[in-house]
Amino acid sequence: MSSYFTDLAQQYIDGEWRPGTGSWDIIDFDPYDGEKLASITIATVDEIDQAYRAAERAQREWAATNAFVRRTVMERALRLVEEREAEIAEAIISELGGTRVKAGFELHLAKEFLRDSIGLATAEEGRLIPSPVPGKENRLYRVPVGVVGVVSPFNFPFLLALKSVAPALALGNGVVLKPHQDTPVCGGTLLAKIFEDAGLPAGVFNVVITDIAEIGDAFIEHPVPKVISFTGSDKIGRHVATVCASRFKRVVLELGGNSALVVLDDADLDYAVDAAVFSRYIHQGQVCMAANRVLVDRSVADEFTEKFVAKVTSLKTGDPRDPETVIGPVINASQAETISSAVEQALAEGATALVRGTTRDNLVEPSVLTDLPAGSPLLRQELFGPVAFLIPFDGEEEAVRLVNDTPYGLSGAVHTADPERGVRFARRIDTGMFHVNDGTVNDEPLVPFGGEKDSGMGRLNGESTAAAFTSLKWISIQRGRSAFPF
């Protein structure tokens, strides 16, 4: 077992590693074999306050630090991730049941986002804006918001915490991070250790491991943070947005999805199968961008289905440490039960199981279902597990209607021999992101990432991240004398 789970099983507040003072412990388990990885005494409301106050104090000096010094810290953090990549991968496998392929995928993206944060550190922006007033000079400065509160999820905890934490720090902000209680190390204290070793001044970055049963809304309603970056379910995201709106806080909400991968009549079917299987079953389907629904033009549905089923049945389910394993465990027993219940519900509604996976503890084998009634609520909700719904359609008009028939609008993909046909199709879909001749699971440092409808508010990555974690400040200079009306 990695030493991370002994050395980092604490709170990190104001540059100090210390236990929480709550009355109970969060137990961190390996979801594959149930091994206890760590026991962490939770942080209280008082410690939430301490973390935010520390970030508030330290942020002023950090923001005044030369941008090239901040860049150096980001460069060191990247080198540390590269040097410790094998250890971090093992921690991802142990704490969240990620396969070796998944751990490599997550770390590759994490390094890309760290590289982008290096550039953000020196991307301070100032502009001169014309004025209709004689002798007036208008300056516009982009400045850090101050302190950012970040809530990270369990599915890609290292990457999705880093996506907010690193750019917020690079831009001169203080940060307090609350990781998901199922991934407190990979999604929380591991980042604290990296930035501590990279030379980030004490107090600028803090990590609190706790549960809403202990702190309620204290993390999001605290007066210090000006922005809350939340990644998680739309149900909780809606509550976060409500609380923050009542306190005039800015929010960035990266929420759930119910993405569709669409196979048109002229698609390369072998390639589309590969894209669809990856898009549905990567990390056991516990991905907000996963292709819950695979829509196939009826003229090619039989051939596609045969190839799709063959590939899904070849996927090995088991120990995520085995390099051959594609499907590892889901995060916990509750999630396994939710997925199994959804399959039973679909079958009770009349669906046909082309592949019927079994569930053993947290191992949920892949399933492929078809013939689900058009009115089934399962077709309109997010299913965070290795279950694919195959849906035939007749022509593009029906495909567009089916894809949009969901309260979510995060990602999607379409496969066609004509890329411009794909673009025309994509532009008709109510999503924040859509991909032609690719999978639904895509993320890059420079493109705006985010969804429409119940899939979130705001965008991250590149310029969108800079806008999310900074504010615009107008400073004018009057050269000469203004003429006042009285």
Strand 291-297 with 147-151, pairing: unpaired
pLDDT tens-digit series, residues 183-242: 999 999 999 999 999 999 999 999 999 999 999 999 999 999 999 999 999 999 999 999
Residue 391 to residue 291: CA distance in whole angstroms: 12
Query: Rounded mean pLDDT of the chain?
Result: 96
Residue 203 to residue 16: CA distance in whole angstroms: 9
Q: Residue 1's pLDDT is what?
A: 54
Architecture of domain 259-436: 3-Layer(aba) Sandwich (3.40)
Q: What is the mean pLDDT of residues 112-116?
A: 96
Q: Residue 123's pLDDT is what?
A: 84
pLDDT tens-digit series, residues 381-434: 999 999 999 999 999 999 999 999 999 999 999 999 999 999 999 999 999 999
Topology of the domain covering 4-255+455-474: Aldehyde Dehydrogenase; Chain A, domain 1 (3.40.605)
Q: Residue 483's pLDDT is what?
A: 86
Torsion of CA 184, 198, 102, 263, to 10 degrees: 110
Residue type at position 19: P
Q: Which residues does the annotation mark as catalytic?
A: 254, 288
Q: Residue 2's pLDDT is what?
A: 74
Would you say 56 and 224 are in contact if contact means Cβ atoms under 8 Å apart? yes
Token pair in block for residue 331: 């995060």
CA distances 364 to 328, 393, 431, Å, are: 8, 29, 29
pLDDT(153) > 80 = yes
**pTM of the prediction?**
0.96
Residue 99 to residue 384: CA distance in whole angstroms: 16
At residue 170 the predicted structure's pLDDT band, cuts being 50, 70 and 90, is very high
Angle at 278 between CA 274 and CA 283, to 5 degrees: 160
Q: Residue 419's pLDDT is what?
A: 98
Q: Residue 126's pLDDT is what?
A: 86
pLDDT(465) > 70 = yes
pLDDT(470) > 90 = yes
**What is the domain partition of the chain in residue ranges?**
4-255+455-474, 259-436
pLDDT(14) > 70 = yes
Q: What is the mean pLDDT of residues 16-23?
A: 97
pLDDT tens-digit series, residues 274-308: 999 999 999 999 999 999 999 999 999 999 999 99
Residue 430 to residue 426: CA distance in whole angstroms: 9
At residue 256 the predicted structure's pLDDT band, cuts being 50, 70 and 90, is very high
Residue type at position 310: A
Residue 48 to residue 26: CA distance in whole angstroms: 16
